[in-house]
Structure 1
Amino acid sequence: MEERAAGAAVGIRVGSPTGRWVILTTVLGSSMAMLDSTVINVALPRIGEDLGTDLAALQWTVNAYMLTLAGLILLGGALGDRFGRRRVFVVGVVWFALASLLCGIAPDAAVLIAARALQGIGGALLTPGSLALIQASFHPDDRARAVGLWSGFGGVGAAVGPFVGGWLVDGPGWRWVFLINLPVAAVCVPVALRHVPESRDPHAHGRFDVLGAALGAFALALVTYALIAAPGRGASPAVIGSAVGGVLLGAAFVQVERRRADPMLPPSVFASRQFTAVNIVTLCVYAALGGYFFLSAIQLQVVAGYSALGAGTALLPTTVLMLLFSARSGELGQRIGPRIPLTVGPVIAATGMLLMLRVGPGSNTVSGYLTDVLPAVAVLGVGLVTLVAPLTATVLASVDTARAGLASGINNAAARAAGLIAVAALPLLAGMGPEAYRDAGEFASTFRRAMPMCAGLLVLGALIAYATVRTPPKGVRDTARPECTVNCGVIAPPLETAPQGAHRAQGQ
């Protein structure tokens, strides 16, 4: 029965009613996770005011979600391959919706943070499954078009996310940033169960690297706690113990992955120097972006005087530029190779971040936006357009086809982990106190110290790319899939799957 379902799925056409339902439900599901990654930043000042929290709680509101998502996203993809992509996707959507409800009714910061961690688990189940369902369901002749539609509609959702989030925060309240997921899930789940065929990887097995996933997640959690707690507690035993514990668990994670027969993160994939180099560049780029978006949304509201809606709208040009021009950037990267885009793009993005230093009191007027904010977000957008699509294509081209899904998952998880650490570390490095976001003057001074750090990370990424990334042979560049380059990867590079028929089991 499973084989008949998988076989039927291969024949779905984009123009058929079933094809349109498949695209709708996968776009809705992935948009839930994407929106809650992008809109939360504009809601942070209002959350802090309403719940009476300090800066550390706001950091955890962002990082609790990123922590579980980054730690479990590879495991989530493997579960879908083994137990059914539709089944795991639906479980993820339901889980995400219930966690969103808990976020929306949270009476205090502790409950909100716990609910955000639960949201990340749901995101780890549904995010890999949305594109995997597209790849597994459509006829080979229509697969590229289906992926392009999924990517394009998802990009629109990411682009308007901060705008919608700001509108909700200023209107019905910040809780609706989470509660909006409930009607989306109410549409997504029945459509998936009725119209999306089930599919599995016939080569996948039931052995999952749960130990590796747990070690990785707990290592990140302990390091994150140490970085966030340090400004308030200093070099206390709890802070030092967490930092040391995180490092030890990280070392244990590496040893476990080296010795397991079926590791979540096979060390052999890093035998490709190109793959390793691009992931180091990814760490630099997305650490900078994670810190930038976290701090800029607060700067615009607390210092410049924007409303939540105004702050979300002010940041919109960055994602709009990515939506409009990422495909062309991917095509250019195919022609000239990745080295130039991955060197030039981060430098341009760093320039945009430095231009954000102009944002301050008075920047919330029309003239202030045109002279202070718009040049910064536009230049940043140009830099991201230049680098994100070639980065994704280079990740896929640096490993064999059978490992494309694994390589993309590693790259996506690395980006999210980098953003997680940046949100935890930047306030500490910039000297932000626990109540900094309540004081415009204090936050502005620390923001001026933080933005050059973010720009420096981008420049470091550019230097690493220039020194290590090599242009693959033209025949290899031509195999990149241009339909996957339409994206708004401001939180993480777009998640790809292996082409249909390629084996993507853990450790394979």
Structure 2
Amino acid sequence: MTTSPPAEGTVGAYPKRWLALALLGTAQFMLILDVTVVAIALPQMEVDLALSREALTWVVAAYTVAFGGLMLLGGRSADLFGAKPIVYTGLLVFIAGSLAAGLAETGSVLLTGRVAQGVGAAMLSPSALSVVVRLFDGDERNRALGIWSALGGGGASVGVLLGGLISAGPGWPWVFFVNVPVGAVVFIGLLRVLPALPPQPGARTRLDVFGAVLVTGATGLAIYALTIAGEIGWTAPRTLIFFGIAVVLYLLFGWWQKTTRSPLMNLSLLGRRPVFSGVFVLGIATALMVAVFFLGTFYFQQFAGYGPLITGLLFLPIALATMAGAQIAGRLVGRLGARRLGAIGMIVGAVGLLIPAVWATTTTTTIGISFGALGIGMLFVVASATALVNVAPEEAGIASGLLSTFHEVGASVGVATVSSIAVVSLAGGGDEGFKQAFLAAAIGALVATAIATIAIPGRQHGETPASDITTP
């Protein structure tokens, strides 16, 4: 007999909610891990599959573009059809994509597998987060989001460590093969504990596939423009043309959302201050995190001369710092407020990234990135707690999808941008390109600090904690 999920607003009605969180968190951990697990294996892939620098960037970006671009469609699907079938479908597609990528013998097959992984992740991630938001309330929701954020942020860091261990052992295909047994265990577990969460009343009745195609195409072209900018220049006609087409597609997406009967998302949702500031913080945090992972793995291996195993071990303190930052923020966000904690996280992140920009050695780079990761880990909790403050039940899926979209778009922008800035160092030209890229990331964090401080709503006297607010 299946236990019913909690009614909206009740706490603790579903006894298996923490087990469900553990399984869903493991799935999310696996999805985020796959953003960075390939980073440390890129040099091996480059040799085995004869990949160019542009293709190497797309090994990361193909996953994150599909993941981020289709996330809104996945979130809306959870609202329309219920989260449970979307979770299952997304997990199965992700497993299939992982198997295809591991078996790849050419770059085109590898990228196809990565796209399939991204499609599965786009269905699984927002629907899983929607389940978490509906199963928990009050202080329990803050703790659950803290755990969720720690798993997500830690997954990115552990991905580099795991990538090093696997690359030094069975080889790069196993960074994908490992998802198959883990995914199967999670799937079986979810079949037993995931509650039946029916579609929310008030959700629209059709999927906006055309809108999803527009936003995915715009994102892909924008990332492609960032990727080639390092090769041919930021003001080259080809770069500007692709940027221009991306902008046109984004504008067309906005127009379509206002005119179609069943839009992918209500644009006014992004116009709400808490949602906008939350997704902005998450996008910046993810861009910084993935950027330093990309830079770090190439710095340690290509410039410092370490093998994949040592490089992976050097990322262990970074993983621990990221998870520690998320856990600290989960406990402090209720006391300090999201605005103050967000500013602290941004500043800590900027200071950490500035260290390797000024003084780049193995020791200083590891210490700097680890310190920066502590602040970045805080930002994941700040973003989730801010963006999900006051959304209606029927918007839980799309709001989660919007948040997760900016997570993956931030990852794509981060890796493409620093890849372009550090192109000289990536081609074997010393460490100056790495320093410039770290400096750009630090400056970006400082600029984001000012924007986030203004954008994140302040706490009002007598304000109800975020997780206890109900939308009228």
TM-score bracket, normalised by the shorter chain, equals: 0.7 to 0.9
CA RMSD between the two structures = 3.4
Q: 1:38 to 1:45 in 2, by over 3 A?
A: same
Question: Deviation at 1:179?
Answer: 0.6
Residue pair 1:59, 1:424 contacting (<8 A) in 2 also: yes
| Identical amino acids, percent of aligned pairs | 29
State the partner residue of 2:412: 420
Instruction: Count residues with an aligned counterpart.
Output: 467
Deviation at 1:70, TM superposition (A): 0.5
- How big is the shift at 1:197? 4.0
What amino acid is aligned across from residue 78 of structure 1 in structure 2?
Answer: R
Which one of the candidate residues 111, 120, 123 is aligned to 1:113? 111
Whether the 8 Å CA contact 1:334–1:477 is kept in 2: the answer is no
1:394 correspondence with 2:393: no
Q: Secondary structure at the match of 1:480?
A: helix
Shift of 1:139: 11
Q: Which amino acid aligns with 1:473?
A: Q
1:177 maps onto 2:168 in alignment: no
Q: Is 1:437 aligned to 2:426, yes or no?
A: yes
Contact (CA 8 Å) 1:299, 1:443: kept in 2 or not?
no
Cα 1:455/1:156, change in 2 over 3 Å:
closer
C-alpha separation in 2, matches of 1:313 and 1:193: 35
**Displacement, 1:345?**
2.0
Taking a change above 3 Å as real, the CA distance of residues 23 and 418 of structure 1, as seen in their structure-2 partners, is closer
State the match for 2:210 in structure 1: 211
The answer on whether the counterparts of 1:137 and 1:197 sit within 8 Å (CA) in structure 2 is no
Aligned letter for 1:317? P
**Cα shift at 1:339:** 2.5
Question: 1:228 maps to what in 2?
Answer: 227
Q: TM-score, normalised by structure 2?
A: 0.86
Name the CA distance, whole Å, in 1 between partners of 2:145 and 2:332: 20
Cα distance, 1:274–1:214 mapped onto 2, change above 3 Å: same
Deviation at 1:239, TM superposition (A): 4.5
Match of 2:466 in 1: 479
Cα distance, 1:360 vs structure 2:
5.2
Name 1:8's counterpart in structure 2: 4
CA–CA separation in structure 1 for the residues paired with 2:148 and 2:243: 40
Shift of 1:319: 2.9
The residue aligned with 2:452 is 465
Aligned CA distance change for structure 1 residues 461 and 474 (closer, same or farther; 3 Å): same
User: Conserved in 1, the CA contact under 8 Å of 2:98 and 2:113?
Assistant: yes
Q: CA deviation at 1:289?
A: 2.8
Cα distance change, pair 148–331 in 1 and its aligned pair in 2 (3 A): closer
Alignment of 1:485-504 (within 5 A): none
Determine if contact 1:103/1:115 at 8 Å carries over to the other structure: yes
The question of whether the paired residues in 2 share the 8 Å contact of 1:289 and 1:454 is answered with: no
Cα distance change on mapping 1:339 and 1:313 into 2, 3 Å? same
Q: What are structure 1's unaligned runs of at least 5 residues? A: 364-368, 482-497, 504-508
Letter aligned with residue 381 of structure 1: A
Q: Which amino acid aligns with 1:437?
A: L
How far does the alpha carbon of each residue in 1:309-345 deviate from its partner, in whole angstroms, 9 at most, with x for none? 2222222223312323433323323223233222232
Rounded Cα–Cα distance in structure 1 between residues aligned with 2:143 and 2:83: 20
Classify the secondary structure of the residue corresponding to 2:466. Answer: coil
Residues 1:187 and 1:285: Cα distance change in structure 2 (over 3 Å): closer
When the two structures are superposed, what TM-score results if normalisation uses the length of structure 1? Answer: 0.81
Alignment partner of 1:447 is 2:434:
yes
Counterpart of 2:122 (choices 108, 121, 124) is 124
Displacement of 1:111 in angstroms is 1.8
The equivalent of 2:55 in structure 1 is 57
Task: Specify whether residues 282 and 128 from structure 1 end up closer, same or farther in structure 2 by C-alpha distance, changes over 3 A only.
Answer: closer
SS of 2:423's partner is coil
| Alpha-carbon contact 1:274-1:469 (below 8 Å) kept | yes
Counterparts of 2:77 and 2:4, CA distance in 1: 22
